[in-house]
Every structure is written in structure tokens, then in C-alpha cells.
Amino acid sequence: MEAREYFYRGTKEDNALAQQLYEEVIALDSDYAFAYAGLAWTYWAEQWFGTGKSRKELLGRAIELGEKAVALDGSEAAAHSFLGYFYTFAGQFDKAVAHAERGLALDPNLSGVLYNSATALAHSGRPEEAISFTSQGNTSEPVCTDHILLQLEFGLLHGRAV
């Protein structure tokens, strides 16, 4: 999907374009779960680009869109893992872990699912499980080991991963 390519470029302008493209996809097919999940990430990413919206507002919108994605297709592993990630930063650790575990059950080899799930687990007091994800994943999509370890460190610093 073209929108995802723009999102991964990591600029404010490309994120805005990705957001627009995801919205266009949704206008064409309002039942396409991954478009809602992708749109959720663009809202979460806005905080990094200084768009003037509050982190709480952006996180709320990301969760709302992630929930819509899961409601449309409960078998979408990425949507569950995204929600796990978002709920982590909302401080709703039970929901974070539940969605992380569901995403892992659906696709235990997708690097994004592993990363988002490791984040939820690291911040929810389950560091051993988060660490185990550093050696998982398939060869076509390597796991972001450094990012997983960084999330584990953040979890430890905030006293939730012990």
C-alpha cells in the first residue's frame, strides 16, 4: 500500500500524505481494517512532528482507529499489536498485553507484531518475554532487536519491567 511507504519515510510531510492516502482508502472501502490500523499509526506519529495536537488527543485517536480496525477484522495481527502498543502508552497495561498476545497468536513471525508486543510486555512487567522476541522473526522481516531492547530499558526505568 502506497500510504505505508510514505509513512515509513518518517517526515512530517510524508506522514500527512500517508494519512490522506489512508483516509482515501477508507472512503473507497470502509471495511478495510488495515487502512484504519495504518491511519492510527499516522495519528500517533504526529506527536513526533510538532503538529500542535496534544499527545493525549493523538493517542486517543490512534486507539479509536485501532479499535475500529480490530472490530472490522479480528484476525488482523498488526491491528492487535498496534493496539497493544497504543494501550501501553495510555497506561492501560491489561489491554496492552491482551492485544499483544492476540497479535502474537495470529502472526508470531511478523517483526512489527514482535516489536509492538515486546513494547507492551516490557512496560507491563514481563521483561523476560520481551527479551525473548529479540531472537525471533523470519529472515524476510528481521526483528528490530535494538528497538526491543530500548523498550525494555524504558520499561525498567519506569519501574514496570521488574
- Band (pLDDT 50/70/90 cuts) for residue 135 is low
The answer on pLDDT for 18 being more than 70 is yes
User: What tens digit of pLDDT does each residue of 69-119 get?
Assistant: 999 999 999 999 999 999 999 999 999 999 999 999 999 888 788 888 888
- Distances in Å between the alpha carbon of 11 and those of 2, 18, 40, 89? 15, 10, 16, 22
Q: What is the model's pLDDT at position 127?
A: 78
- Which of 9-13, 27-31, 54-58, 93-97 is predicted least confidently? 9-13
Same fold, 1-73 and 75-162: yes
Domain ranges of the chain: 1-73, 75-162
Domain 75-162 has CATH 1.10.3720.10: no
pTM for this predicted structure: 0.83
16's CB contacts (< 8 A; 6+ apart) are 42
Residue 37 identity (one-letter amino acid): A
| 130 against 80, higher pLDDT | 80
- Choose between 47 and 145: higher pLDDT: 47
CATH class, range 1-73: mainly alpha
